[in-house]
Amino acid sequence: MHVVIIGGGVIGLSIARALIKLDIKVSLIEKNRVGRSASWVAGGMLAPQSEGLKEGSFLDFCLESRNLYKDFVEKLEKDTGIETGYWQCGILKLAFSEEEKKELQEDINRYKKLGLKAKWLDREELEKIYKNLGEEVLGGALYEDDAQVDNRKLVLALEEFVKRNADVYEFEKVKEIKTENGKFKAVVGENVYIEADKCVVSAGAWSMDFGVDVFPLKGEMVALDIEKEDIDRVLYSSRAYLIPRKNYHRLVVGATQEDVGFKDGNTLKGTMQLLTGARDTLKILEDKNIQELWFGYRPATKDELPILGEADIENLIYATGHHRNGILLAPITAKVISEYIYSGKESRYLKEFSPLRFK
Ligand SMILES: Cc1cc2nc3c(=O)[nH]c(=O)nc-3n(C[C@H](O)[C@H](O)[C@H](O)COP(=O)(O)OP(=O)(O)OC[C@H]3O[C@@H](n4cnc5c(N)ncnc54)[C@H](O)[C@@H]3O)c2cc1C
């Protein structure tokens, strides 16, 4: 079997890897360099609980992926020799108001009922850990099983593996999908024409070019210099999230979220929101140097759920719309999509997140 994949972000690359492991021939077409769009831009949090997800299929999908992560990165690291910065550091979600405190305490109760780890730490307890805690912080919910990966290192490792084992066409934009009798036939790029048995559309925030209702939600980010003693794990709140990388070479501060279409650049407003949020969380950050500013586009959908599986064209399979959680969801997406391609096994997630729900 030969599968062609449109889009080489974390989703396309992870699916490519899973298919290669099943001995399926893969061609991947990417309009820029692989892995340099949303998947490069992200924070890399693996945070179903910190995201406050409610009980249901999407939380199940996210938790399953979080459980797959350790094995996913360990095998990838072994195959490529590239370390991914995966760190089960836990995430502390802070409350800046009584309302947020109440909401977090309700979340803790919900998650405990599901058998998940969650505990409340009040301000006094937090002050023992963080010398420079912002004055408005009232306490926080500690989710020990939420984690992080350095998404840039992850895509570098995936890129290495996929380039070694598949035909990768970079700087090649797919312009058209050819069909015959309602079935996928070929993709047409600017310089290539590739026929294959099946096609996966994993074109991120640009997937609307291939007939699904995905739109971009812009996010801006900042990185600061950091010392090991400043912060021990991810601190997440409504003001900003702070992600210390495992080797403390940077603190990633995110993220704004704006529905402004594709509007490139870092704004004064966005940068100020992030820097103020960082300082409100840990006062010491005020004195740190800025390393980098960047931005990107989440592939969002109207109901904030991913789009997985076939729609009207047989053998054309969507794997997109991962919105705020695409780094987290890469292992489970690769699993359910590759199983479907290989054996026709349709996981419950393909039914629940089918593109047909919008028809
Ligand atoms: C600021 C920000 C912070 C985030 N933080 C987190 C986080 O902490 N945790 C988390 O889990 N997720 C996070 N996300 C979300 C996550 O980054 C995305 O959900 C994920 O990267 C989507 O992966 P993708 O492969 O679908 O898209 P992308 O990485 O955008 O890849 C899609 C690729 O398709 C290519 N493409 C598009 N059209 C064509 C075409 N016509 N021909 C060829 N190639 C094409 C693009 O060039 C691109 O490289 C964040 C996102 C943003 C923007």
Tokens of 90: 């836990």
Residues 6+ away with beta carbon under 8 Å from 76: 17, 82, 84, 154, 157, 158, 161
Instruction: Tell me what pLDDT residue 229 has.
Output: 86
Instruction: Tell me what pLDDT residue 349 has.
Output: 98
- Ligand 1 pocket check for 331: Cβ under 6 Å: no
Instruction: Tell me what pLDDT residue 131 has.
Output: 83
Where does residue 99 fall: left (phi above 0), alpha (psi -120 to 50 degrees), or beta otherwise? alpha
Best residue among 325, 332, 353 to mutate for probing ligand 1's pocket (most ligand atoms within 8 Å of CB) is 325
Distance 202 CA to ligand 1 centre (A): 9
Best residue among 4, 5, 10, 40 to mutate for probing ligand 1's pocket (most ligand atoms within 8 Å of CB) is 10
Atom of ligand 1 nearest to the CA of 320: 26
Residue 191, judged by CB atoms within 10 A of its CB (0-12, 13-18, 19+), counts as: exposed
Tokens of 307: 């789009």
Atom of ligand 1 nearest to the CA of 255: 1
- Ligand 1 pocket check for 218: Cβ under 6 Å: no
pLDDT digits (tens, 9 = 90+) for 163-196: 999 999 999 999 999 999 999 999 999 999 999 9
pTM, rounded to two decimals: 0.98
pLDDT digits (tens, 9 = 90+) for 119-138: 999 999 999 999 899 999 99
- Ligand 1 pocket check for 31: Cβ under 6 Å: yes
The domain spans of the chain are 2-81+151-213+302-358, 91-145+216-300
CATH number of this structure's domain 2-81+151-213+302-358: 3.50.50.60
Instruction: Give the integer Cα–Cα distance in Å for 69 and 132.
Output: 32
Distance 203 CA to ligand 1 centre (A): 8
Q: Which among 101, 116, 91 is positioned nearest to 232, based on CA atoms?
A: 91
Q: Mean pLDDT of successive 10-residue segments in the chain (359 residues)?
A: 98 98 98 98 98 97 98 98 98 98 98 98 95 95 98 98 98 98 97 98 98 97 94 96 94 97 98 98 96 98 97 97 98 98 96 94
User: Which protein residue's CA is at the shortest distance from atom 19 of ligand 1?
Assistant: 326
Instruction: Tell me what pLDDT residue 248 has.
Output: 87
- Ligand 1 pocket check for 301: Cβ under 6 Å: no
Residues 6+ away with beta carbon under 8 Å from 134: 279, 280, 281, 282, 283
**Domain 91-145+216-300, classified CATH 3.30.9.10, yes or no:** yes
Best residue among 32, 33, 41, 175 to mutate for probing ligand 1's pocket (most ligand atoms within 8 Å of CB) is 41
Atom of ligand 1 nearest to the CA of 296: 53
Q: b/e map of 48-71 (b: 16 or more CB within 10 Å)?
A: bbbbbbeeeebbbbbbbbbebbee
Q: Are 22 and 342 contacting, i.e. CB atoms less than 8 angstroms apart?
A: yes
- Ligand 1 pocket check for 101: Cβ under 6 Å: no
- Ligand 1 pocket check for 7: Cβ under 6 Å: yes
Q: Give the start-end residues of each E strand in 170-233.
A: 174-180, 183-189, 193-195, 198-201, 215-224
Residue 190 three-state SS: coil
